[in-house]
Amino acid sequence: MLDPELPDLTIADLGVLRDVVETDGAVEVSITPTYTGCPAMAMIALDVQTALDRAGIAGRVRTVLAPAWTTDWLSDAGRGKLARAGIAPPPPGAGRRALFGAPEVACPRCGSRKTEKIAAFGATACKALWRCRACREPFDLFKCH
């Protein structure tokens, strides 16, 4: 199951898929939002429900809020996929300090660490806009959260 906004990332890579439990033949899939208002959640829930229905599995999707999602749940595979898609993965170590610090971000295209923030908010709630001062290309940074 791919995230609708992030190329090639599965919802498991992203940490959005929290649990799959089978009870008496019925499956319950638990998902959690990245950001509280993430508009992709409805689509992810629909995609999961559709996949269950297509496979002929009786099941339902449940949205859970706790524990709160953090970028530390991004898998290593997911971080690699982000970088290959031109999105700098979040610096490891979640929490307020990482959110407010001045993280050293490597350009996902040329690898240079001479990068700077253009805007604190980007095309989706989970991203900020950065630019590389070496190769001059702008890029998205997946915000630490």
26 touching other proteins, by CB under 8 A = no
Considering only the stretches 6-14, 48-56, 106-114, 123-131, report the one whose residues sit in contact with other proteins under the rule CB under 8 A: 123-131
Considering only the stretches 7-15, 23-31, 54-62, 94-102, report the one whose residues sit in contact with other proteins under the rule CB under 8 A: 94-102
Count CA within 13 A, CB hemisphere, residue 140.
18
Helix (H, G, I), strand (E, B) or coil at 125: coil
Task: Report CA dihedral (76, 69, 111, 85) to the nearest 10 degrees.
Answer: 80
Distance, CA of 135 to CA of 74 (rounded, Å): 27
Residue from 25, 76, 96, 104 that binds other proteins (CB under 8 A)?
96
Where does this chain bind other proteins (CB under 8 A)?
A: 33, 35-39, 65-69, 95-96, 99-100, 118-123, 125, 129, 143, 145
